[in-house]
Chains A and B, each alone.
Chain A
Amino acid sequence: MKELEREILIIGAGPAGISAAIEAAKAGAKVTVADEHDTIGGQLYKQIHKFFGAADNHAGMRGFEIARKLEQEAKELGVEFWLNTVAYGIFKEGVGIVRDGDNFIVKAKKVIVAAGGIENTTAFPGSTLPGVMLAGAAQTMTNIHRVLPGKRMVVVGSGNVGLIVAYQMLQAGAEVLAVVERDDHIGGYGVHAEKIRTAGVPILTDTIIKCASGKTSVEGVTTVKLGADGAEIAGSEQEFNADTVIMAVGMAPLTELLWNIGCRFEFIGELGGYVPVHNEFMQTSVDGIYAAGDITGVEEASVAMEEGCIAGIAAASACGHISAEECSARCASHIDALAVLESGEYDGERSAARAKKLELYKASEK
């Protein structure tokens, strides 16, 4: 098979991958970023809301604007982008790539995997009907292709993604009849919840979808309340005249590439499932393979960017562009930033989860 050589290959052009590319290029490395999409930015590309997080990481800007800014910076530094390009496996021989119908192996000195996450689903009677979709699909249709997927919607899940999708559907002109949440409290930030409550959307906690019905697509949705024992409360059903159900029930790290090359994993529920263990420089248990962003645990763009910066600096250093001391010095501010980002009432467990990954990495080194 055809082989190509590259110095640093980054898989995924989301905020983590582009940040890694920028820092590695700044350190003097030659960098190539591959992404299966036709647009740079990962999740950011379909986000039209203003981002939370540190102003230093462009919070306050809208997602797609952050993506454009990062893209421009990377291109000015000479980073090579391969779009419509799938990395299908990492092998001892190199990274398997399919690009423009061409199939080849990339031999890279260092590989940074920044593949992001994948949405979870939930099942209920009627959940296979057309009109039931994931939040990402609703966002892609509405925010990118400007096609509203329906007129009257019920959103499942009150995490930040569910709350934001509900708000975006309202902005696009749909009616959001309710957001339903299985827990007894709202999962996402209060400020996001307030936006949709102010628009008159109820958030129904302790509630699930009992079923969606319709002949060829969704024509109605029935919800039901759950008691303290988790069982459905008979008679608490509510009918909604909805034509669309949007699921926003969490995300999981997209880790196949790292399993495939034999990285060590640990199950950490707060981070979305099995995550690769890594050291503070984002190096996984397999030498030369780094990971950054949602793939190391589903968090947020600010965290993804900081992790990307660290991985980029470390990979460039490992290629010999900067010394180990310089690497530590450049990474220090990003490592500090992670500690700050992973605090606050929503994030207390995440810094513990990060510590656990680092500890397990150390243990596996021995």
Chain B
Amino acid sequence: MHDGILYTGVPNRQELKNAPGIPAADSIGAGGTAFIECLQTIACNPCEANCPTGAISIGAQISNRPVLDAKKCVGCGTCVSKCPGLAITVIARKRDDATTVLSLPYEYFPLPSAGDTVAAVDREGRFVCDANVLNVKPMSAHQSTSVVKIEFPEEYTFKVKSINTFHWRSNNG
């Protein structure tokens, strides 16, 4: 049985580990670092073109995969809303509270509001844990892609991929 992004649409463990720009665990500071889940060589480069600090490089051969210089990344989230693949999130750690703060691109209605509790889901859309919504950047700010910032227990850091506010299906357990 084949697994991995090409066969299932879900990256396997090895692919996630090799994702370009994956921040090393100890480099995920409180400010946050981009996590670029862009696994294939596709001709695309808005992430590189829009990063204000030059932290993402792809080069003239735009089918190269993006590479992140984590030292240059200030966690501003510009790339999160610019990537047409919705492949980038910004991950930050709050060590004192043992939580992770994830900024993710979101293009569904209804948008959650700060203070809401929402369902955090994995890469197959399955419920992982409840998450608190800290902040929601309006769609108008980013060509209709909202950036939603959520907080959840740190043990789920790389398991949580997104949230689901639009409907529930039977596969949610």
Residues on B lying within 8 angstroms of A by beta carbon are 2, 5-11, 37-46, 48-50, 60-63, 82-87, 107-109, 121-126, 143-145, 161-162, 164, 166-167, 169, 171-172
Contact B85 A52 (CB under 8 A): yes
Contact B9 A203 (CB under 8 A): yes
Contact A345 B85 (CB under 8 A): no
Contact of B85 among A192, A203, A205, A340 (CB under 8 A): A192
- Size class of the contact patch on chain A: 35 or more
Scan A180-223; emit 1 where CB is below 8 A from any B CB, else 0: 00001110011111111111110101000000000000000000
Contact B7 A55 (CB under 8 A): no
In A263-310, which residues have CB < 8 Å from any B CB?
302
Contact A340 B43 (CB under 8 A): yes
Contact B9 A197 (CB under 8 A): yes
Report how far A192 CA is from B10 CA in the complex, Å: 11
Contact of B50 among A55, A62, A171, A343 (CB under 8 A): A55
Please tell me if A65 contacts chain B, counting CB pairs below 8 Å: yes
Please tell me if A60 contacts chain B, counting CB pairs below 8 Å: yes
Contact B63 A190 (CB under 8 A): no
Q: A194-B87, A200-B124, A200-B169 are in contact. Are A189 and B7 (CB under 8 A)?
A: no
Report how far A168 CA is from B45 CA in the complex, Å: 22
Contact A200 B7 (CB under 8 A): no
Please tell me if A346 contacts chain B, counting CB pairs below 8 Å: yes
Report how far A50 CA is from B132 CA in the complex, Å: 28
Of chain B, the residue at the smallest CB distance from A336 is B60
CB distance from B111 to the nearest CB of A (A): 12
Q: List 17 A-B contacts (CB under 8 A).
A: A50-B143, A52-B43, A54-B45, A54-B62, A170-B108, A186-B5, A186-B8, A191-B39, A191-B86, A193-B5, A196-B9, A197-B8, A198-B125, A199-B166, A200-B126, A200-B169, A345-B41
Please tell me if A59 contacts chain B, counting CB pairs below 8 Å: yes
Please tell me if A173 contacts chain B, counting CB pairs below 8 Å: yes
Which of B50, B60, B85, B162 has the most chain A CB atoms inside 10 A of its CB?
A: B85
A198: chain B residues at CB < 8 Å are: 121-125, 161-162
Report how far A197 CA is from B144 CA in the complex, Å: 21
CB distance from B170 to the nearest CB of A (A): 9
Contact A193 B44 (CB under 8 A): no
Report how far A273 CA is from B39 CA in the complex, Å: 30
B82: chain A residues at CB < 8 Å are: 50, 60
Q: A191-B87, A344-B42 are in contact. Are A65 and B143 (CB under 8 A)?
A: yes
Q: A60-B49, A184-B7 are in contact. Are A52 and B44 (CB under 8 A)?
A: yes
CB distance from A47 to the nearest CB of B (A): 11
